[in-house]
Amino acid sequence: MRKNYFHPKNLDGVYSVYQIEGLNQDRLIKNLKNGGLTLYNVKKIANHKMSLEISVKQDKNFFAIVEKMCYTNLELKPKIDKKRKKLLKKGVIATKSECGYNIKLTRVHGKAYPLYYLFTHVGVLIGAIIFCLGAYHVDDYIFSFEFTGSGNVVENRVVEYLNSVGVEKGKRFSEFDLNVLADGILAENPLLSYAGCLKRGNKMVIELVLAKNGTDILDESIKSLSSDVDGVVKELKVYRGTPLVGVGDKVSAGDLLVDGVISHKDVQIETNVLAKVVVLAEFNYTFISQFDDRETHAELLAIESLNLPVEYSKITKQPDKDGYLYTVTLYYNRVFVAG
């Protein structure tokens, strides 16, 4: 029969440590040596008790010899040999009471033991492979973005650009060239002097540096910022001017959001406004239909009519004399920027 060189039992540098309890240990040593075994670290532990190490390559020979010698009660902790267990049941191997010997496998060790363990525990090997493949596969997905550097004030513009080229959460890093992406960000934003994209785990880190000389023209003529829609203030950034509303406040069309008058120690100074306010605005659309299942149609029509990115929507349906009245309320971000 051809020898299986890839069998774990043929690995060099792996040793089984056996604890043997019984009389006439000198004879056992002699027989093992005469049987061609190489014995390592043969030590007396106690009276009639010793331990010895054998290369796993010679395990079969060892058991063949000890079985021949009527060595008996085999306790193979890591893995009980089924064949030997059967022999024990059949009585081919004598029991402890008959011969008075115990052979116990206490441990397996050696330089090549990790490899041996993986080969003898195929489940662990498969699990490790699946884990590595899974980690490699999952590592390619974008889970989040991080904006760093002085240019992160133009984060929204960069996000818009990234969305326009299809870079979103859940997409794969391998679908994009990060250098090309960085060049694109830089080209789209004249306010930036440097843009760099990095992969840090599952996070895309975008480093942005503001240009010292921007190409946008600063409009210093805006003395106040007013809302032209009804809604709720979602975001408020005021760099110059006095904010008249806070985040979460309800505003109506025409309400003043930021005033260009600054009060300082009873002195009022009029200045231009430099601010950004995002208002979550409402858009209502009414649709009449004879059918009672036209919610999707109504929503689609309303979104198309608004022609802006919608945050979320609400649809109500009421019976009407002509059929059904669908009222679609769309919520979208209205951004006011001054400066």
| 173/163 Cα distance (integer angstroms) | 14
> What does the block give as tokens for 142?
């974008």
> Which residues partner with 105 through β-bridges?
18, 76
Minimal distance in Å, beta carbon 34 to another protein? 9
Lookup: tokens for 126: 């498969």
Q: Distance (Å, rounded) from C-alpha 10 to C-alpha 157?
A: 63
Binding residues (CB under 8 A) for another protein: these are 26, 29-30, 33, 36-44
Nearer to another protein, 36 or 246 (CB): 36
**Which amino acid makes up residue 241?**
G
Q: Which is nearer to another protein, 39 or 210 (CB)?
A: 39
Quote the tokens at residue 3. Answer: 């020898």
**Least distance in Å: CB of 85 to another protein?**
30
The CA distance from 187 to 197, in Å, is 14
Minimum CB distance to another protein, residue 98 (Å): 26
Say how many C-beta atoms besides its own lie within 10 A of residue 236's C-beta. 19
Shortest Cβ distance from residue 68 to another protein (Å)?
18
Nearer to another protein, 47 or 268 (CB): 47
Integer Cα distance of 173 and 166 in angstroms: 11
User: Closest by alpha carbon to 145, among 122, 121, 129, 161?
Assistant: 161
Measured from the CB of residue 115, what is the shortest distance to another protein in angstroms? 23
| Closer by beta carbon to another protein, 24 or else 163 | 24
In angstroms, the CA 185 to CA 196 distance is 9
Smallest distance, another protein to C-beta of residue 117, A? 24
Between 54 and 108, CB nearer to another protein: 54
Q: In terms of CB distance, is 33 or 86 closer to another protein? A: 33
Nearer to another protein by C-beta: 33 or 250?
Answer: 33
CA-based end-to-end distance of the chain: 87
User: What is the nearest approach in angstroms of another protein to the Cβ of residue 26?
Assistant: 6
Q: For the purposes of burial, counting CB atoms within 10 Å of the CB of 280, is it exposed (0-12), middle (13-18) or buried (19 or more)?
A: middle
